[in-house]
Structure 1
């Protein structure tokens, strides 16, 4: 059994971070159905570990107890919401902060905001979004070039050669995100390779090692993680200092440097964007290309939309909003793959869902992976069907969950843009085919990732 110190560090970090001080009365007033603690000290941690992931645990929890369910963190209750109707009822004034950013900053030991309250949080969010929009606009030709280089490589492959999506698309994401976020220093392949090495060391522990406490048990792994994080911080702080005051304002970090943020805050925001941006962008592209390889019909509909909207011109930022079927395909990719299966928020004031009272300062989990495949919300929930998003109800539910509209995190909006460039370039030149006999399964961590490399074959369009 894990001791309470390890449990407190590992489990809170993976859920949202920050130490939660719940009132003792919350034990008796919640009245929400759920699991009793398996262990007095650890609560239900071992149940989560036994299920293999927090998502799998929540799927089982909601299957047993319904859309509002509770479990235990040590001697304290946690509430999970597992349906659209219940999420719609959950009014939380903390909507000004992004749950994914908050979670990552807590994992990394960073402060989640500037401490200036709701107004400051809104301003910080707008600055972050402005930085993302600015870097896409200023670097769009470079993004096109990187994608075209990858597609040209795929075009050169023999028809039956297996193409490893994870390796190729993660490589593309690493190049694109580092150059767009941190500037031309990362046109140097050696810089990108060093970034990737540290990124993988950090993300692997964030994704799994914290959840089951295994990193805390291994001094070697913990030292490796802390060394990678320190090295990454040193590199990013060097970038911040190098780009401060220079005239060229093309990268994500440049927009942040024009604000009143400290160098440390700029470094932390750059860390969060590059860590999350690489993983979300890569996996959105991987899943999208994989799902396209399973449906010739969807590929042809995308190809026809490109013909109708773009003609012979390359895709441009101003034309992307007109590619509505592309948006449906990406939405359905996020839904089917359960791209980000977990979010969480702290209940800042007492709330109510159905007849259940949620006490102040309770941790509330949004079981997004459960909701995204809820048969009451989505017809044939396990089928990849972009046409479902022609329905207004599907679009509204998706927006409510934070995957589109104003609630979508900036990293996801960035990923949508990159994925549209990738798919539009690929579909114009190539046809994608499944590898026979391949079974693709996901690791349900902070971002849904294929367990093993996912393969396709390609053929040229005539």
Structure 2
């Protein structure tokens, strides 16, 4: 086994392990012998370790995939231990990849496996479809019934920023994670989380879970540290207890006001309700916070984009606050958020199991092969996006860009539910913020990315603000 270097592996590698854990293959050697995809495996790699050390050396799975596709092209394979993995790194190859597993969201599946949740994951297609519909209905009802709550939380933050002197440095990470946490807890779990003390307690456990999740799958380091394991298990237990308490508290109400209410009125078991609430609150907070952080960072670098966004808000909304029915009319705002997701590589990797034998170009992908969608590579592929490293919302005026983005699962019917929620929060934030304030970048600030399950800035991101009028 690899030595201590494995202990430094980043969280995103766990994504691969989690899917392998969910879908063990009994005929690995037979499977690998039929793969015709160019393979990257060093001569000194043992069958047990495969390219794991290469991934560690690169610093993240995303960075490893960037190098892999640069060397071997848009279809490549590598070895995760004794398991062959195929990676697709261009829009054309992803378009060809046919996989019938459309009943579950890959992000949700991976997160549940990392948490050790199994309910509903092996119950067949019908159960998965029903559960997915309940989950999406819960989000739709939540947004419809609580839009004013979201708007109030955003207005409180913008009001706070308006009081800052123009020279004050504003930490985007701290403020926007707080915004996401307040929004998600109040809309998902109800009035209990209007109390800041409840939100702070929830955030403490949320952060403890997210920082540790999944490490034991790879190196067993959590098992080797009794204090870390106790801290993680305590946080997970406390968070589940809170969710269960909220469920019991709200069940007699027979309403469908917040996220958990819709789950309670469905046929889901108590355990499934707790699990789905855990997934939404964990993923919803992290995706929402980072979408907002990256959006404001990129806006702070372009006064032109800010002014264009401001003009759209004035034309569509006038002096009125944004409303749920007006959001679809904010086309340029949608382009800004799309370009934020693309430029930041917000979710750089997805994974699917090849349930039936398939083919991409001339390459055969056997049944039960793990297929990686190298989204971080595809989102900055110069064959698909002109000047890919430039933040340019205007690129999404082109129909080809919209189609490519939809194909990748970032828009349209296949959009991750948590990302769809995050887009709504971010739209409310931008529509409120840019009509009152201008954003300014800090000179000399260097943004480095930590490419994990969700891409985040490595360090705190700072801006300054000034009044627009």
Residues 1:127 and 1:407: Cα distance change in structure 2 (over 3 Å): same
The counterpart of 1:32, out of the listed 19, 30, 37, is 37
The counterpart of 1:124, out of the listed 115, 120, 131, is 131
Deviation of 1:408 after TM superposition, in Å, equals 0.5
Task: Find out whether 1:42 has 2:46 as its counterpart.
Answer: no
Provide the rounded CA distance (Å) in 2 between the counterparts of 1:16 and 1:375.
Answer: 31
Provide the rounded CA distance (Å) in 1 between the counterparts of 2:124 and 2:259.
Answer: 24
Deviation of 1:46 after TM superposition, in Å, equals 1.4
Q: Do the aligned residues in 2 keep the contact of 1:30 with 1:357 (CA within 8 Å)?
A: yes
Task: Find out whether 1:140 has 2:144 as its counterpart.
Answer: no
For 1:9-158, list aligned pairs within 5 A: 12-15=16-19, 17-23=21-27, 24-36=29-41, 38-111=45-118, 113=120, 115-158=122-165
Q: What's the RMSD between the two structures over aligned residues?
A: 2.0
Q: Do the aligned residues in 2 keep the contact of 1:429 with 1:461 (CA within 8 Å)?
A: yes
Q: More displaced, 53-62 or 325-334?
A: 53-62
Task: Find out whether 1:435 has 2:439 as its counterpart.
Answer: no
Task: Find out whether 1:285 has 2:323 as its counterpart.
Answer: no
Equivalent residue for 2:244?
A: 237
Q: Deviations over 1:47-94 (max 9, x none)?
A: 111111110111111111111111112212011111111111110000
Provide the rounded CA distance (Å) in 2 between the counterparts of 1:99 and 1:422.
Answer: 28
Structure 2: 5+ residue stretches without partners = none
Deviation of 1:16 after TM superposition, in Å, equals 6.3
Provide the rounded CA distance (Å) in 2 between the counterparts of 1:150 and 1:275.
Answer: 21
Matched residues, number: 460
Q: Deviations over 1:206-245 (max 9, x none)?
A: 3877666644543332332222112211111111111112
Provide the rounded CA distance (Å) in 2 between the counterparts of 1:214 and 1:56.
Answer: 23
For 1:227-376, list aligned pairs within 5 A: 227-376=234-383
Structure 2 residue matching 1:266: 3-state secondary structure: helix
Task: Find out whether 1:194 has 2:201 as its counterpart.
Answer: yes
Q: More displaced, 205-214 or 144-153?
A: 205-214
Deviation of 1:15 after TM superposition, in Å, equals 4.8
Q: More displaced, 301-310 or 28-37?
A: 28-37
Q: Deviations over 1:336-384 (max 9, x none)?
A: 0000001001111111111111111111110100100011110000000
Equivalent residue for 2:178?
A: 171
Structure 1: 5+ residue stretches without partners = none
Provide the rounded CA distance (Å) in 2 between the counterparts of 1:217 and 1:225.
Answer: 13
Task: Find out whether 1:457 has 2:461 as its counterpart.
Answer: no
Structure 1 residue matching 2:102: 3-state secondary structure: helix
Deviation of 1:201 after TM superposition, in Å, equals 1.0
Structure 2 residue matching 1:437: 3-state secondary structure: coil
Deviation of 1:11 after TM superposition, in Å, equals 6.5
Provide the rounded CA distance (Å) in 1 between the counterparts of 2:383 and 2:429.
Answer: 33
Q: Deviations over 1:260-296 (max 9, x none)?
A: 0001000000000000000000000000011000000
Q: Deviations over 1:33-57 (max 9, x none)?
A: 1212622212111111111111011
Deviation of 1:249 after TM superposition, in Å, equals 2.6
Provide the rounded CA distance (Å) in 2 between the counterparts of 1:393 and 1:165.
Answer: 33
Deviation of 1:331 after TM superposition, in Å, equals 0.1
Equivalent residue for 1:396?
A: 403
Q: Do the aligned residues in 2 keep the contact of 1:16 with 1:345 (CA within 8 Å)?
A: no
Q: Do the aligned residues in 1 keep the contact of 2:15 with 2:110 (CA within 8 Å)?
A: no
Provide the rounded CA distance (Å) in 2 between the counterparts of 1:258 and 1:332.
Answer: 37
Question: Moved runs in structure 1, 4+ residues, more than 6 A?
Answer: none
Residues 1:329 and 1:12: Cα distance change in structure 2 (over 3 Å): closer
Q: Do the aligned residues in 2 keep the contact of 1:147 with 1:421 (CA within 8 Å)?
A: yes
Q: More displaced, 307-316 or 321-330?
A: 307-316
